[in-house]
Amino acid sequence: MKKMIHCCFTSHQEVMFRNPQDVGFFLNLLALTSWKYGVDIFADTEMSNHVHLLLFSSDKTESRLSVGPYSKTIIKPGFDRDGSILYSESNQLSDFITALRKRYTWYFTQKYQRDCGGRMGEKYYFSLIIEGNYHMISACSYVLRNGLHHGVSGTSFMYPYSSINDMFIPELGKTDRPYQGNQNPDEYHKNRSGHWIKSLSSGNKSTHGLVFPDGYAPITSRNVMKLYLPRYSEWPDNWAMSPSGVFLRPCFEQLRQTELLFVSPGAFEYNMFRKTDEKWLEEQDQDRNGKPAIGISDIEPIHNEDAVKSYLYNERAATFRNCRNDIDLCGIIDRCILPEFKSPSIYQLSRDKRESIKRILINDFHVSDSQASRCLWL
């Protein structure tokens, strides 16, 4: 039986994404791995040092593929918020998370010549079963509002590495993004495998029932898609990529189901802009399932009182400080500072040299000690 689960894995000692291309490659792996293991993605947010996923998964492995070097994985059990083991070592969720992290670690290690090797981030992931509509709305809202809570965006919609801007696209007037159009049975045909897929048309409609803005050039050729993916990758014939080589979320995420959860564009916007208060917790009592209400402290796997106060302050701040996020800071380090040290990667520098770069970041760019250390693997 499938369940709605909030999942988060973290890397507090080093950033997981150093530029937008890293996030794009992770999204491609998220698409491939979720399809392989039969996991439905409802919402995602990629922060520099942790990832939030709201997904629909069962406690039995339902692998769709068993080819390539990633078909066998070593499983680490997930933990519930009370510290108890949530899943055993051979289930769909653990297989999915382990494969996803393993493949991304390999990519990151190869790209940045990460000599330390080994797993990126903390050993275990955090997971929480979500039951009831109001509980699901609360969990999904917290996932999509993560950029706001961490103070890297003035509103939830400003943060670019999240599925929030793929919700209610035409209703909210986002004319520059592809979205899933109305289903017309006359526009479907069977592919060579016997599966019904969306037909390509001469208009602005394309694969998977997507509607593309004028001038938008999606990638639909499998030969071209392979250039952006690991070897042995398999994916449905009717998926499409953005011009930059990233699978479009409407192809591999259950965005329509997430929209139905919020019912209307107005309710969605309301939940994205509302403030965290007791009323939000009280609403979850309407599910009448005996489950405790979900708040910020339940969504963030590692938290303390000061951290929660910081999240609430960022949510209620009247003005946005426009602070530099980790991915932007890593871009400055990799493009502007590393060439002066004649090194292709921070992982190739000695600790003394990384400490000297840290002083430059603190003095010239006015970043915090913790942020500089995180971006420099200190």
216-264 pLDDT per residue, tens: 888 999 999 999 999 989 999 889 999 999 999 999 999 999 999 999 9
The length of the chain, given as a count of residues: 378
Domains and their CATH numbers in the chain: 1-187+241-323 (3.30.70.1290), 188-240 (no CATH), 326-375 (no CATH)
Nearest-angstrom CA–CA distance, 117 and 271: 41
Nearest-angstrom CA–CA distance, 354 and 60: 45
- Give ∠ CA 227-228-233 in degrees, rounded to 5: 85
* pLDDT score at 304: 72
* pLDDT score at 302: 61
90-114 pLDDT per residue, tens: 478 889 999 999 999 999 999 998 8
**Element of type H or E holding 146:** helix 146-149
Burial class (CB in 10 A: 0-12, 13-18, 19+), 287: middle
For 340, the token pair is 């002066």
* pLDDT score at 78: 44
Record the pTM: 0.85
Rounded average pLDDT per 10-residue block, the chain, 378 residues: 88 91 96 94 94 82 31 36 40 89 93 80 87 94 92 88 93 81 50 46 51 84 94 91 94 93 94 89 91 84 74 74 81 92 92 94 89 90
Q: Are 109 and 251 in contact (CB under 8 A)?
A: no
Nearest-angstrom CA–CA distance, 122 and 114: 17
* pLDDT score at 5: 92
Q: How many helices (H) and strands (E) does the chain have?
A: 14, 8
Type of residue numbered 100:
L
Q: Are 32 and 229 in contact (CB under 8 A)?
A: yes
Torsion of CA 179, 161, 152, 259, to 10 degrees: 40
* pLDDT score at 122: 86
* pLDDT score at 318: 58
Which residues have C-beta within 8 Å of that of residue 148, sequence separation ≥ 6?
Answer: 154, 155, 156, 158, 159, 314, 315
What is the per-residue burial (b if ≥16 Cβ within 10 Å, else e) of 305-330? eeebeebeebbeeeeeeebbbbbebb
